[in-house]
Amino acid sequence: MDVLQQLFERHFHTPPAQVKPLQGQLGGSGRAIVRLAAGPHSAIGIVYPVREENLAFLEFSRHFRRHGLPVPEIYAEDLAAGAYLEEDLGDTTLYDFLSAHRAGDTIESPVVEAYRKVVTVLPRFQVEAARDLNYKVCYPRASFDRQSISWDLNYFKYYFLRLAGIPFNEQALEDDFGRLTRFLLTARRDFFLYRDFQSRNIMLRNGDPWFVDYQGGRKGALHYDIASLLYDGKADLPPDLRQELLDRYLEALATHLPITREAFMEHYYAFVYVRILQALGAYGFRGFYERKPHFLLSVPYALKNLRWLAHHVTLPIALPALLEALQAMLSSEKLLALASTAHNLTVRVFSFSFHRQPPIDESGNGGGFVFDARALPNPGREDRFKPLTGKDAPVIDYLNQQPSVHQFLSNAIALVEASVAAYQKRGFKDLMVSFGCTGGQHRSVFLAEQLTRHLRSQGIEVVLRHIEVEKMEQAQREAVAAQ
């Protein structure tokens, strides 16, 4: 990471005091992503060897900023080394925010409002910024054309259907793919297609959305990106919210483009299908082929969306072989077992004080990990941190600057992840993880929050409790009530 440190020093005129790999940020891309910081300065550094993708991201970023769109500023770059430095937008993705503020299909109003803002901004990328965009830097294709669609459909066929053991008639399926492709290509395709417009590629800062990971963008139809967002597998948006957000999107789109709802809807669900198939291909490649099981946890959500489409949507073209394969997927015991795995395990994460007894396991599973954070630097010894907790930004910044904290957290995550994988394979339903420190207010809270964020980014169901913080908050409420 020397090149990133050099870029940081060149831009901020000071060397970074801290270089922290970002957990859970590699995803399926293979990028190395780190946060570099020194005093008030912070930046995100990327190292990735594919020059064409880096060039596309840098070109698009500068173009979008010229149009006033909320994307990160590019601070510095070294294309020869495959590295660049960009604005730090924080740690909260739209997916994180959604996961922390929902109970089943009940999604809290701040999340809904964030989604409304997102769908209102999307047409600005697609229409306003598309007019003078340099599509020559697009990689690997300049447009979502016949070749792009063929790649996506075959990705699904060979890496999902084949590896999941779903039977299909190859020639009949190819015939359907041809009909679907020809239909998709009848939609107007002179807009910017973001390509991976989903909740993990949208950051929230002060309640407003900021957008990243558009380096795969190209010229294409309007429908694909809104379909990507609303049928984003793990986001699992309820149908009524999807409909509300689609309506909001079409209202915003109408301010940029004269298009009727009827004209848009003619192609919409065909693009929903092709986006879901592309995502399933990616899950199959990473999960079945590369044997990274956490990618397969997204499959049940994609199947849920396909089941809804089967019951509510009739496409304007006949695709008998494809629909037959999709029905076989919905009844596959192998894929149903993935659903059982995805939904059965719950990780319960606690923070507590060693002045009191560690949290008691009420699941009957006999307890789990208990991590002792008392050897780490203690913010509670400084007056400025005493009224704060490990959820407050000053404490987070302080602990993020301690190398021993990063090492401790990295080791804890590795241990917990190994158990999560084993528990899922063996069908266990509960894992308990507790972090303790002296007061249960700073270090343990910070570590519990970081582990929870990481596990949720992998699609794991997490229940989080801060024992001492809950007591503090209750005491504050009682004091206010007594006044």
Band of pLDDT at residue 226, cut at 50, 70 and 90: very high
Question: Angle, nearest 10°, between helix axes 393-400 and 443-457?
Answer: 90
Residue 343 pLDDT exceeds 60? no
pLDDT of residue 458: 76
Verify that 64 and 98 share a domain, yes or no: no
Do 44 and 125 lie in one domain? The reply is no
- Listed residues 59, 87, 115: the one ending a domain: 87
Query: For residues 43 and 71, what is the distance between their CA atoms, to the nearest angstrom?
Result: 14
Nearest to 12, CA basis, from 40, 54, 46, 45:
40
Last residue of a domain, one of 318, 341, 364: 341
Both 107 and 32 in one domain: the answer is no
Note the pLDDT of residue 364. Answer: 62
pLDDT in tens, 79-113: 999 999 999 999 899 998 998 888 778 899 999 99
Q: Which amino acid is at 356?
A: R
Is pLDDT above 80 for 62?
yes
Q: Of 87, 120, 146, which residue is a domain's last? A: 87
Q: Which residues contact 396 (CB under 8 A, 6 or more apart)?
A: 390, 446
- Residues in a beta bridge with 154: none
| Model confidence at 371: pLDDT above 70 | yes
- Residue 396 and residue 284 in one domain: no
Collapse the DSSP code of 409 into the 3-class scheme (helix H, G, I; strand E, B; otherwise coil) and give the result: helix
Q: Which residue has the tokens 């948006």?
A: 237
Using alpha carbons, select from 72, 80, 13 the residue that is nearest to residue 45.
72
Q: pLDDT tens across 433-468, in order? A: 999 999 999 999 999 999 998 888 777 888 899 999
Q: Are residues 81 and 110 in the same domain?
A: no
CA-wise closest residue to 444 among 466, 417, 413, 474 = 466
Looking at residue 21, its pLDDT comes to 83
Per-residue pLDDT reduced to its tens digit, 142-156: 999 999 999 999 999
Q: Report the DSSP beta bridge partners of residue 220.
A: 191
Look up the CATH number of the domain holding residue 74: 3.30.200.20
Helix, strand, coil shares, percent, the chain, to 5:
55, 15, 30
User: What average pLDDT does range 259-281 have in this prediction?
Assistant: 97
Confidence of residue 366 (pLDDT cuts 50, 70, 90): low
Burial category of 201 from C-beta neighbours within 10 Å (exposed 0-12, middle 13-18, buried 19 and up): buried
**Cβ density class 19-41: b for 16+ within 10 Å, e for less:** bbeebbbeeebebbbbbbbbeeb
Read off the pLDDT of each residue in 400-408 and give the average, rounded to a whole number.
Answer: 92
pLDDT tens profile 7-54: 999 999 999 999 988 754 444 567 889 999 999 999 999 999 999 999
Given a cut of 60, is residue 126 above it in pLDDT? Answer: yes
State the pTM of this model: 0.76
pLDDT at position 111:
96
The answer to whether residues 197 and 261 belong to one domain is yes
Tell me, what's the pLDDT at 100? 82
Domain range for 67 is 2-87
CATH number at residue 318: 3.90.1200.10
Contacts of 8 (CB under 8 A, 6+ apart): 15, 16, 36, 38, 41, 43, 45, 76, 85
Which tens digit of pLDDT belongs to each residue from 282-334?
999 999 998 877 788 889 999 999 999 999 999 999 999 999 999 999 999 88
Looking at the fold, whether 52 and 199 belong to one and the same domain comes out as: no
* 158: CB partners within 8 A, 6+ apart: 281
| Co-location of 55 and 138 in the same domain | no
A 10 A CB-CB count for 66 gives 10
User: What DSSP assignment string belongs to 191-255?
Assistant: EEE-S--SGGGEEEETTEEEE---TT-EEE-SHHHHHHHHT-TTT---HHHHHHHHHHHHHHHHT
pLDDT value of position 26: 41
Nearest residue to 395 (alpha-carbon basis) of 447, 355, 453 = 447
Tokens of residue 288, six digits: 């079945």
> Does residue 193 sit in the same domain as residue 270?
yes
Q: Which of 34-38, 215-219, 260-264, 363-367 has the lowest mean pLDDT?
A: 363-367
- Provide, rounded to the nearest whole percent, the portion of the chain with pLDDT above 70: 96
How many domains does one find in the chain? 3
* Judgement on whether residues 167 and 44 belong to the same structural domain of the protein: no
pLDDT score, position 29: 61
Q: What CA–CA distance (Å, rounded) separates 378 from 399?
A: 9
| Residues 221 and 119 both lie in one domain | yes
Give the integer Cα–Cα distance in Å for 34 and 4.
9
| Cα–Cα separations (whole angstroms), residue 441 to 20, 246, 404, 412, 452 | 23, 42, 18, 19, 16
For the chain, report the end-to-end CA distance as a whole number of angstroms.
55
Residues 216 and 201 in one domain: yes
- Residue 11 C-alpha from the chain's centroid: 29
Residue 87 near residue 6 (C-beta atoms within 8 A): no
Mean per-residue pLDDT of the chain: 92
Sign of CA dihedral 317, 321, 322, 323: positive
Q: What CA–CA distance (Å, rounded) separates 264 from 252?
A: 13
What integer pLDDT is reported at residue 423 of this predicted model? 85
Peptide bond into 140 cis (omega under 30): yes
Report the relative pairing of strands 461-466 and 346-353 from DSSP bridges: parallel
